[in-house]
């Protein structure tokens, strides 16, 4: 799905814990999720802090949208 | 010295010097000698090989009667006791490429003799047959004939000599190469161990799993600053509205859906459920924003860090869903995003 959306010219950040698989299929921008079970969540935090945590992650993803993989690399990966 | 290996070479009317489009409908003919690029091939194969026959066929004829023509090719190859089949190369020629790939697949599967062709990645024949035949990767330009033929000849010789053939990426062929016949009377554990031993001893072996061929997509870049973009969310984590109104299946999905959350500032747990049998959904059920982070995105929109958020998200369950299906979903979603003027997407996978 990532690749077809990218093919249409829309940059995508793929947020997942299975970053190797994502890299293997050729996604360009990959951010490791907090867990397979809660990609954008952190249930160990109190609710208010979890929202902050999530906002931080979304901001990180947004920042990746403005960046490109390093020279000679296919994917930009943030673990 | 043993007898020379008998090679059958297939080329089209153009390379046989019969003409271009005007003669593209010409049927099959055979010459018992190398013709056109066959002369180059003969030199590259060396003295242990002889081109016993060149099959010539018009591009329209093979494209319009592929199955019948391939059947006839097989008869000719048997008639001339062919031991190795080489087609083309067809570069980026559509009908010729289709012919090269279809014939190579037919020979591989029906006659079970070594067979190889060479095509450009975007040739329609490549996609159709790359998992049924060895299709060496070539440039899209026939000016590269020498290079392509050199690679094909070297590969063909290794095939004929039973050399170890690695995966496509390493060897330079498209896709997975020929499908293999699996002997199910041998238990999977034994087949697996044999494969491992073959690999260890550097003997030829084939995977039983066809690996998807991952093509490179050009890197898309944002065309405006973050503060002006429209952001959308896509997930394969199976988040659906309460009651699962479209009966989204939890595995082996056949479609995706888009659901609106309107002007909500966050996804409320009471309004959603998960149809996905591949992970423990409890954390997402407790707070759907953990999968589709609408709360964070809306907050960032309010702060002016992004333009806005598409008020609906795309969803499916990515469990046991074949790659082809994912590709289809992706195409549909991409269209939806473009129609909605989306500039960037965050896609979450569980």
> In 3-state terms, chain A is what percent helix, strand and coil (to 5)?
40, 15, 45
The residues pairing with B53 across neighbouring beta strands, listed in sequence order, are: B8
Question: Sign of the C-alpha dihedral, residues B181, B186, B188, B191?
Answer: negative
pLDDT of residue B232: 97
Q: Is the minimum CB–CB distance between A79 and chain B shorter than 8 Å?
A: no
Q: Is the minimum CB–CB distance between A38 and chain B shorter than 8 Å?
A: yes
Least-confidence region, from A39-48, A63-72, B8-17, B204-213: B204-213
pLDDT of residue A18: 86
Residue A77 lies in a domain: no
- Residue B124 makes CB contacts below 8 A (sequence gap 6+) with B94, B97, B98
Residue A20 lies in a domain: yes
Residue A17 lies in a domain: yes
Model confidence band, residue B295 (pLDDT cutoffs 50, 70, 90): very high
Between strands A29-32 and A76-78, the pairing is parallel
Percent residues over pLDDT 70 in chain A: 100
Query: Which residue of B284, B337, B342 is in closest CB contact with A38?
Result: B284
Contact A1 B287 (CB under 8 A): no
Q: How far apart are CA B276 and CA B253, in angstroms?
A: 10
pLDDT of residue B88: 94
Q: Is the minimum CB–CB distance between A60 and chain B shorter than 8 Å?
A: no
Q: How far apart are CA B31 and CA B38, in angstroms?
A: 11
Model confidence band, residue B210 (pLDDT cutoffs 50, 70, 90): low
In terms of CA atoms, which chain B residue is nearest residue A47? B287
Contact B36, B80 (CB under 8 A): no
pLDDT of residue B11: 97
List CB contacts (< 8 A) between B282 and chain A. Answer: 37
Contact A10 B334 (CB under 8 A): yes
- Tell whether the model's pLDDT for residue B171 goes beyond 80: yes
Model confidence band, residue B213 (pLDDT cutoffs 50, 70, 90): low
Contact B330, B218 (CB under 8 A): no
Q: How far apart are CA B142 and CA B96, in angstroms?
A: 12
Contact B293 A69 (CB under 8 A): no
Q: How far apart are CA B279 and CA B266, in angstroms?
A: 23
List CB contacts (< 8 A) between A46 and chain B. Answer: none
pLDDT of residue B71: 97
Cα–Cα distances (Å) from B194 to B162, B166, B182, B189, B202, in that order, read: 18, 16, 13, 9, 12
Tokens found for residue A43: 């249930």
List CB contacts (< 8 A) between A30 and chain B. Answer: none
Within 13 Å and on the Cβ side, how many CA atoms surround B113?
17
In terms of CA atoms, which chain B residue is nearest residue A29? B219
Set out the domains of chain B in order of their start, with CATH numbers.
5-181 (3.40.50.2300), 226-348 (no CATH)
Contact B299 A43 (CB under 8 A): no
Contact B238, B256 (CB under 8 A): no
Q: Describe the crossing of helices B37-45 and B145-160 by its angle, rounded to 10 degrees.
A: 50
- Tell whether the model's pLDDT for residue B267 goes beyond 80: yes
Q: pLDDT by residue (tens digit) across B219-231?
A: 999 999 999 999 9
Q: Which of the residues A25, A33, A40, A60 would you substitute to probe the B interface, choosing the one with the greatest number of B C-beta atoms within 10 Å?
A: A40
- Tell whether the model's pLDDT for residue A61 goes beyond 90: yes
B15 compared with B202, residue with greater pLDDT: B15
Query: Which residue of B280, B293, B335 is in closest CB contact with A40?
Result: B293
Between strands B134-137 and B272-274, the pairing is unpaired
Average model confidence (pLDDT) for chain B?
A: 93
Query: Which residue of A14, A43, A68 is in closest CB contact with B349?
Result: A14
Contact A9 B220 (CB under 8 A): yes
- Residue B16 makes CB contacts below 8 A (sequence gap 6+) with B31, B35, B36, B54, B56
Residue B300, SS3 per DSSP: helix
CA B201 distance to own-chain centroid? 29
pLDDT of residue B31: 97
Q: What angle do CA B95, B101, B107 make, to 5 degrees?
A: 130
Contact B234, B313 (CB under 8 A): yes
Average model confidence (pLDDT) for chain A?
A: 93
Residue A11 lies in a domain: yes
Q: Describe the crossing of helices A47-65 and B294-302 by its angle, rounded to 10 degrees.
A: 70
Within 13 Å and on the Cβ side, how many CA atoms surround B183?
9
Model confidence band, residue B194 (pLDDT cutoffs 50, 70, 90): very high
- Tell whether the model's pLDDT for residue B212 goes beyond 80: no
B8 compared with B203, residue with greater pLDDT: B8
Report for A55-59, B93-97, B160-164, B276-280: range of highest mean pLDDT:
A55-59
pLDDT of residue B12: 96
pLDDT of residue B211: 60
- Tell whether the model's pLDDT for residue B96 goes beyond 80: yes
Determine the structural domain holding residue A20 and report its residue range. Answer: 2-68
Residue A78 to chain B, least CA–CA distance (Å): 14
Number of domains in chain A: 1
Segment B161-175 shows an average pLDDT of: 87
Contact A55 B300 (CB under 8 A): yes
Q: Is the minimum CB–CB distance between A78 and chain B shorter than 8 Å?
A: no
List CB contacts (< 8 A) between B279 and chain A. Answer: 36-37
Task: Please give the radius of gyration of chain A, using alpha carbons only, rounded to the nearest integer.
Answer: 13
pLDDT of residue B217: 87
Residue A75 lies in a domain: no
Contact B300 A10 (CB under 8 A): no
Between strands B134-137 and B49-57, the pairing is unpaired
Quickly tell me which residue has 């947004």 as its tokens: A62
Residue B214 to chain A, least CA–CA distance (Å): 6
Q: Is A53 exposed, middle or buried (0-12, 13-18, 19+ CB in 10 A)?
A: middle
pLDDT of residue B167: 80
Within 13 Å and on the Cβ side, how many CA atoms surround B148?
25
Percent residues over pLDDT 90 in chain B: 77
Percent residues over pLDDT 70 in chain B: 98
Residue A59 to chain B, least CA–CA distance (Å): 8
Residue B336 to chain A, least CA–CA distance (Å): 10
Q: pLDDT by residue (tens digit) across B300-322?
A: 999 999 999 999 999 999 888 88
Q: Which of residues 207-236 of B touch A (CB under 8 A)?
A: 212, 214-217, 219-222, 226, 229, 231, 234, 236
Residue A33 lies in a domain: yes
Residue A78 lies in a domain: no
Residue B133 to chain A, least CA–CA distance (Å): 22
Exposure b/e, B11-46, CB count within 10 A at least 16 = b:
bbbbbbebeeeebbebebebeeebbbbbebbbebbe
Segment B41-63 shows an average pLDDT of: 96
Least-confidence region, from B27-36, B196-205, B271-280: B196-205
B239 compared with B142, residue with greater pLDDT: B239
């Amino acid at each position: 799905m990532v690749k077809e959306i990218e093919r249409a010219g829309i940059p995508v950040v793929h947020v997942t814990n299975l970053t190797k698989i994502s890299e293997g299929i050729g996604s360009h921008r990959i951010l490791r999720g907090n867990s397979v079970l809660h990609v954008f969540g952190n249930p160990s935090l109190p609710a208010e802090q979890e929202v902050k945590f999530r906002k931080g992650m979304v901001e990180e993803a947004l920042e990746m949208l403005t960046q490109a993989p390093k020279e000679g690399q296919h994917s930009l990966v943030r673990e | 010295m043993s007898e020379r290996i008998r090679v059958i070479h297939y080329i089209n009317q153009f390379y046989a010097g019969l003409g271009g489009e005007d003669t593209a409908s010409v049927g099959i003919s055979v010459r018992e000698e190398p013709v056109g690029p066959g002369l180059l091939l003969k030199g590259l194969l060396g003295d242990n090989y002889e081109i016993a026959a060149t099959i010539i066929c018009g591009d329209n004829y093979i494209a319009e009667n592929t199955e019948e023509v391939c059947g006839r090719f097989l008869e000719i190859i048997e008639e001339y006791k062919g031991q190795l089949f080489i087609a083309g190369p067809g570069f980026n020629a559509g009908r010729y490429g289709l012919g090269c790939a279809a014939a190579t697949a037919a020979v591989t599967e029906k006659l079970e003799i070594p067979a190889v062709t060479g095509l450009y990645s975007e040739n329609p024949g490549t996609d159709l047959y790359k998992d049924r035949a060895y299709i060496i990767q070539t440039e899209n330009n026939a000016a590269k004939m020498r290079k392509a033929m050199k690679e094909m000849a070297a590969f063909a010789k290794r095939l004929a000599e039973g050399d170890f053939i690695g995966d496509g990426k390493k060897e330079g062929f498209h896709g997975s190469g020929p499908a293999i016949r699996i002997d199910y009377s041998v238990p999977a554990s034994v087949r697996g161990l044999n494969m491992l031993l073959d690999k260890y001893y550097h003997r030829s072996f084939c995977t039983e799993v066809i690996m998807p061929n991952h093509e490179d997509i050009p890197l898309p870049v944002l065309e405006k600053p973050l503060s002006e973009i429209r952001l959308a969310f896509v997930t394969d984590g199976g988040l659906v509205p309460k009651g699962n109104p479209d009966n989204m299946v939890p595995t082996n999905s056949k479609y995706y859906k888009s659901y609106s959350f309107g002007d909500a500032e966050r996804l409320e747990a009471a309004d959603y459920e998960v149809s996905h049998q591949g992970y423990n959904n409890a954390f997402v059920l407790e707070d759907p924003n953990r999968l589709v982070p609408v709360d964070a995105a809306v907050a960032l929109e309010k702060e002016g860090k992004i333009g806005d958020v598409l008020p609906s998200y795309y969803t499916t369950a990515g469990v046991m869903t074949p790659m082809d299906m994912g590709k289809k979903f992706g195409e549909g979603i991409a269209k939806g995003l473009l129609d909605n003027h989306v500039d960037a997407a965050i896609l979450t996978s569980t």
